[in-house]
Structure 1
């Protein structure tokens, strides 16, 4: 299949949900894309949903209650189908209407919010699935194009000052507050935008993982536009 992701060694492109869940991460490949050109009016769905906060979880019954055009109904069925497929697989999909995520700017010298490049970690074998139906889409970046923030000397020194405890407890401190999950792009690094409509599976840091975890970040939202994101 020829598309914008085909020539990227980090990404494997598949054509079915079965391939998406059954393909195995290996080597530098830690992102799998079910490449799709979706039909349907997802913007109409966003316009008719009622946000309750900066992040509002949308349930199937909320979608089914909407009065929609033919294009909106087509979009709704795609979302519901994705949620069913992921639930049947054993995942717990969450559909979110996003204005923005909370920012973490308290420390100034390091950020641990989702707008920072980061990896997901789990104590059990799992993967991250996501699809942006409307609005700005997430970015991923190759592991050799980033540096772990806790290894950057000036950041590490400030974290040691913040810790202000025994040296042997420092690494545990970094994990406890998730500092070790965040990465800084190297000069000339090139991120890949995941685009709208594609269903992605990203490698997570967990015991038994055969590939490096996928480094990713949430996008800065477009002004005045909500994101509609399926994630689990």
Structure 2
């Protein structure tokens, strides 16, 4: 696999928040990126926050309590504004101070945690928004460069053995256990890295969605470094 910062034919770059939320997905484009260069010291914010668990939810009130330098205040205002505009839009943004996600080691033949390439499924037609302010950032895998894991013969056979039920409800079993959400990169796939400071909008899996859902994964964290991530 190769990682690129270029969006290519799978993503579209926009220049404002209004363009980010008002532009429709179409064709092979199932992700939008509001590219912006953020000023401010986001590392200072991380240094002043207290990690309570591997993933700690940081509220606006938590941010406002921090005593920060001028550059730290600039970073805080950026985050607070992002939280506010997304909330006004009708989304439910969450700011996470992140050491690491929980790993899935239940099965040795299929990985189903967020470090695996996956799509998000929603009961309503809503998009996923992501922004990494500090730390390692996620990757996108173009749909035509991916294979659904449940279609890989050796994995499918092991899932059938795990199911131990009738063929009629096998597909339901795959959905109920979220196996169908995960993908394997094809050889020589070209990944798109989401970068720092960019606000992304990703298409989800929903019957009314007009494009394929965006395949993405969480990054392996850098040693000794927390991530500061907005997600909704």
- 1:105 Cα offset (Å): 1.2
Q: Which residue of 1 aligns with 2:124?
A: 124
Q: Which residue of 2 aligns with 1:83?
A: 83
Residue 124 of structure 1 contacts residue 207 of structure 1 at CA under 8 Å; is this kept in 2? Answer: no
Q: Check if 1:96 corresponds to 2:96.
A: yes
Question: For 1:209 and 1:45, how far apart are their aligned partners in 2?
Answer: 37
Give per-residue Cα distances to partners, 1:2-40, cap 9 Å, x unaligned: xx435x011110000000000000010001000001000
- 1:71 Cα offset (Å): 0.3
Question: For 1:117 and 1:64, how far apart are their aligned partners in 2?
Answer: 35
Q: Secondary structure at the match of 1:191?
A: strand
Gaps of 5+ in 1: none
Q: Which residue of 1 aligns with 2:53?
A: 53
Question: For 1:150 and 1:97, how far apart are their aligned partners in 2?
Answer: 32
Q: Which residue of 2 aligns with 1:215?
A: 215
Write the mapping of 1:97-112 to structure 2, written as runs, cut at 5 A. Answer: 97-112=97-112
Question: For 1:42 and 1:5, how far apart are their aligned partners in 2?
Answer: 24
Write the mapping of 1:9-158 to structure 2, written as runs, cut at 5 A. Answer: 9-158=9-158
TM-score by length of 2: 0.97
TM-score by length of 1: 0.97
- The count of aligned residue pairs is 229
Question: For 2:176 and 2:23, how far apart are their aligned partners in 1?
Answer: 32
- 1:190 Cα offset (Å): 1.2
Question: For 1:94 and 1:59, how far apart are their aligned partners in 2?
Answer: 8
Structure 1 segments of 4+ aligned residues over 3 angstroms from their partners:
none
- 1:118 Cα offset (Å): 0.2
Question: For 2:119 and 2:140, how far apart are their aligned partners in 1?
Answer: 10
Question: For 1:181 and 1:118, how far apart are their aligned partners in 2?
Answer: 5
CA RMSD of aligned residues (A): 1.0
Question: For 2:73 and 2:83, how far apart are their aligned partners in 1?
Answer: 15
Gaps of 5+ in 2: none
Give per-residue Cα distances to partners, 1:133-184, cap 9 Å, x unaligned: 0000000010000000000000000000000111101000000000000000
Question: For 2:76 and 2:165, how far apart are their aligned partners in 1?
Answer: 53
- 1:221 Cα offset (Å): 0.1
